A and B are shown apart, each in its own frame.
Chain A
Amino acid sequence: MAALELDHLIDNQDVASPARDDLRDPGRLDDVVARVARGGAAEVDAAVKSAHRAFQSWKKTTYAERAELLRKAADLLDAEADSVVELMARESGMLVPTNKAEIGMAANIVRDNAEAAETFLNAKQVEDNESWVSVEKRPIGVIAAIIPWNAPIILAMRKVSPALVCGNTIVVKPAPTAPLGLSILLKKMAALFPPGVINIVHGGGDVGHALTVHPLVGKVSFTGGGAVARMIMKDAADGIKGVQFELGGNDPAILLEDADLDDALPKLLGGAFRRSGQFCFAVKRVYVPASIYEEVVKRIEAEVDKFKVGHPLTKGVNFGPINNKGQFDFLKGLLERTHKDGYTVKELGSVVAPETWEQGYYMRPVVVSDIDLEAELVQVEQFGPLLPVVRYDDLDQVVDSINDSELGLGSSIWTRDFDKALKLAQRLEVGMTFINNSGTSRLGQKNIPFGGVKQSGIGRESSPIGLREYVEYHAINFHK
């Protein structure tokens, strides 16, 4: 297949740059999927100015007009999904059904944000004998949205849709290792809106920096890693800009003795190994009571061993490669150190096409048992298919160990007893706790402010609380 040429989108025009970067298939490194325009400060400036120009009229549109366009955008995502799911598999390494589900969920996120804004954007007015107060919400202006590679459509829509429905315009920087599917869909979406409302600039850290420091950018919303977040926050400090960060986690899954294992284990393992473990709120460590530990480990290993690892477009594959070399090397190193530490390491699953194994960033799913609370694999975020399963006798010790971390994104609890789950959840220092599943229900998608505590993030996304990130308050106080 010939490589596609992927350009920036500025003022609803495709804009190229002199330099291009090769986007390679992580499952077949010889395959250049696209040649992506490499932006710099000039493209950022043009995109931000375009967004700022568009903001002057976009901010005057009504909620109803904006929501209507977003609902059309959501329908467009659904309609166009099939046209990009295979390209997405080739750039991110994620499975086609995963990509399809991602786009469907992204469309719902757009609808949910459009809906939540209806009451959210209303002014709150109170009055008494001496005065009248109106607390109004205004758009911020130009939002910079910096998107990661692991679930780019969902994670971009969590920023684009609340930003736009509140009356902001946006410049999106896709991830260098997964810009294609997102850009194709965003460009189609952008055509629904006035030129400049949605802009795209490709590139690496220098583009992110140029966006963050641009004086016409009012806020930076970033999903990704903590190290980059620190740099963004320092850059944002010079302009006293607000930031919203959704960062990593080291999310524990706590099994209680009364868990319904038949129901729990497939869901829990989906939560650990979907996207080959590459998502922010993936189950990153499992805590199992000693009384059922041997049985659970055996069942987990048997279940994980069913994965068939290979290229996502190869028939029969249900477990894709790691997205990029940096992440792949990190995981390999972590696996090697875990081996050396003498824990029980089982490399599971089967290899679908052994002859092409070395041509991509492949690794088999790994389950590590008989592992200590303090082990590196338990204490760091792996962001990949290495799952430690920790035995516990004392739940208090588990809670202390979980809370004694700088991270606090998600978590899950598996039990038949809701009250017990609630009490345990309330002891965890995290932003989200899922009970008897490892993700949000449809109701949760609408209502849960998604994000983490401590160094897992700043602010929240989705739900009326997430919308707060995209407005400024203007309080008017009339004295009679």
Chain B
Amino acid sequence: MTILVTPATLTVDNFIDGAWVGSTERFDVRDPGRRDDVIARVAVADQAQVDRAVEAAHKALKPWGAISIDDRAAAVLRAADLIEEEAEKGIEGLAGVVVRETGMLPVEIIMELRGAAYAARDNVEAAKVALEPVIVEDKTSIVRIEHRPIGVVAAIVPWNAPIVLLIRKFAPALVAGDTLVIKTPPTAPVGVAILMEKLAGLFPQGVINVVHGGAETGAALSAHPKVRLISFTGGGAAAKQIMKTAADTLKNVQFELGGNDAAIVLDDVDMDKTIPTLIAGAFHRSGQFCFAIKRLYVHERIYDAFFEKLAAQIDAFRVGHPLDPRTTFGPINNPGQLAFLKSLVEKTRAAGGELIELGHKVDPESWDEGNYMLPVLVKKPAGDFDIVTCEQFGPVLPVMSYKSEDEVVALANGTEYGLGSSIWTSDFERGVALARRLEAGMTYINKNAQSRLGRRHMPFGGIKQSGIGTENSELGLAEFTEIHAMNFHKV
């Protein structure tokens, strides 16, 4: 067994108006790979602290909004550089603690930090276009349309990729002139808090505030009349509550929620090229990301060969603690999610599903000390199985076969969700034509991720119950602004 040195437990406070603020109530953050390790004791923000954070952010609006867009952009770009510097430090830097609290692999978190730096830069690029006033004129009048800060933004962040998902809100909000109150995820608050305190020095006092806690802290933030936009990434049930609370003060909401993303493998694919890329699209982060492949549809003509190769490659995963160098597949972030996944597996088994458990345990004797599970493939489950109809958010992948494109389009679209989707084909035209028939906010072809160009230009988000509004690109940037139209009448 590899000996992991347990560092001392950190004390993490709320960060309000430029200072750490403690609290009488605290919660433990535990290593999902070794639950006895308490990584941090984190202060819960009560109503009064949430109020103070919002007031600080509100007070900071004027000085921050008075700074030119170029200077705001420069500050966000410096933040991007600092995040990238952290990424270069590897697990000696910020990534170390984020690995320990999320359970994600070092390589995944280092990639996440680099992705966050790009997200910041891309949003600055988008802002240069999106924030430019539009001016039109004729003989009788001039119209000038300006994008103004929306005000205090509540950014509510999930545990699965907290840094990059926060930076998708942080960067557009700040470059647009908004200020932030960030609510961290209870099972991964530490990296966000440490990074934000570090970046706060680049901005006027009160521009960035961080509060910790659960649903009550979120509700206090969502109800505060001085918050004008709630930008939330997470689950649908929480989103409904947030929107109901937001309704009382008619706030704007922007939600990026779950998906049940279908991957459609056409019969013309190059299997050897496709399978490793597709596996990353499903099992990266042990399947815990919003646009992970959640349902896999393989053409019946190639199904058996495809399934066999897929299973063989997934079987190579070594499941264990992310800081163990032998590990290629980390644990589930929290016991609630693990229990949900296990119950899905049990239901599938009970319903007569064919389950194939794959991969290997790195350290069998300490297996039960963490939230571990082996990756699972479900062979040809019926369409009404829970594992097909609901979002699993973990390493259990149903693999169905289909006969025709019409059939698979109907299956892919037969869900309340509509976040991502992917198509795997060697034919560009065929791929794009099929993509256009899918009800989803995003369709990736031949890799379940954004390309460099995609990160800059794609509005990231879902349709139907997968979200409201979008993030990234000029369109996402607009969510963080208000429009002020001026109409000059020539006398």
The interface of chain A, by Cβ under 8 A from chain B, is 124, 126-128, 130-136, 138, 140, 226, 229-231, 233-234, 236-242, 245, 247, 260, 263, 406, 416, 418, 421-422, 425-426, 428, 430-437, 440-444, 447-451, 453-455, 457-458, 460, 463, 465, 468, 472-479
Given A240-B465, A447-B145, A458:B252 Cβ within 8 A: yes
Query: A441–B445 contact, CB under 8 A?
Result: no
Q: Would you give the shortest CB distance from A405 to chain B, in whole angstroms?
A: 12
Query: B458–A433 contact, CB under 8 A?
Result: no
Complex Cα–Cα for A126 and B266 (A) = 25
Chain B, 411-460, CB within 8 A of any chain A CB: 428, 431-432, 435-436, 438, 440-447, 450-454, 457-460
Set B145, B431, B447, B459: member contacting A475, Cβ < 8 A: B459
Q: Which residues of A contact B249 (CB under 8 A)?
A: 406, 455
Set B136, B460, B468, B482: member contacting A453, Cβ < 8 A: B482
Query: B484–A433 contact, CB under 8 A?
Result: yes
Closest to A433 in B: B486
Query: B463–A437 contact, CB under 8 A?
Result: no
- 8 closest A-B pairs by beta carbon, nearest first, are A131-B451, A237-B243, A233-B247, A441-B141, A475-B458, A444-B487, A437-B489, A477-B454
Set B431, B451, B490: member contacting A130, Cβ < 8 A: B451
Q: Which residues of B contact A455 (CB under 8 A)?
A: 249-250
Complex Cα–Cα for A274 and B110 (A) = 62
Set B228, B454, B484, B487: member contacting A131, Cβ < 8 A: B454
Query: B240–A240 contact, CB under 8 A?
Result: yes
Interface core residue of A128, A140, A230, A416 (most chain B CB under 10 Å):
A230
Query: B432–A436 contact, CB under 8 A?
Result: no
Query: A468–B457 contact, CB under 8 A?
Result: no
Given A443-B136, A473-B470, A479:B247 Cβ within 8 A: no
Render B232-260 as a binary contact track against A, CB cut-off 8 A, 1 for contact. 00001001110110111110100101000
Set A140, A234, A437, A478: member contacting B428, Cβ < 8 A: A478
Query: A435–B488 contact, CB under 8 A?
Result: yes
Q: Which residues of B contact A450 (CB under 8 A)?
A: 485
Query: A472–B441 contact, CB under 8 A?
Result: yes
Set A140, A230, A435, A460: member contacting B250, Cβ < 8 A: A230
Chain B, 123-149, CB within 8 A of any chain A CB: 134, 136-138, 140-146, 148
Complex Cα–Cα for A421 and B491 (A) = 14
| Residue B467 at the chain A interface, CB threshold 8 Å | yes
Chain B, 356-415, CB within 8 A of any chain A CB: none
Given A237-B243, A237-B247, A449:B485 Cβ within 8 A: yes
Chain B: how many interface residues by the 8 Å CB criterion?
74
Query: B145–A442 contact, CB under 8 A?
Result: no
Query: B475–A473 contact, CB under 8 A?
Result: yes
Q: Would you give the shortest CB distance from A1 to chain B, in whole angstroms?
A: 41
Query: A432–B255 contact, CB under 8 A?
Result: no
Complex Cα–Cα for A135 and B488 (A) = 34
| Residue B469 at the chain A interface, CB threshold 8 Å | yes
Query: A444–B250 contact, CB under 8 A?
Result: no
Query: B144–A238 contact, CB under 8 A?
Result: no
A sample of 25 inter-chain contacts (CB < 8 A) reads A133-B453, A230-B250, A231-B247, A233-B250, A234-B244, A237-B244, A240-B468, A247-B250, A263-B491, A430-B484, A431-B482, A433-B484, A441-B140, A441-B143, A443-B136, A447-B136, A447-B485, A451-B483, A458-B250, A465-B478, A474-B438, A475-B454, A477-B445, A478-B445, A479-B451
| Residue B231 at the chain A interface, CB threshold 8 Å | no
Q: Would you give the shortest CB distance from B467 to chain A, in whole angstroms?
A: 7
Closest to A215 in B: B416
Q: Which residues of B contact A437 (CB under 8 A)?
A: 487, 489
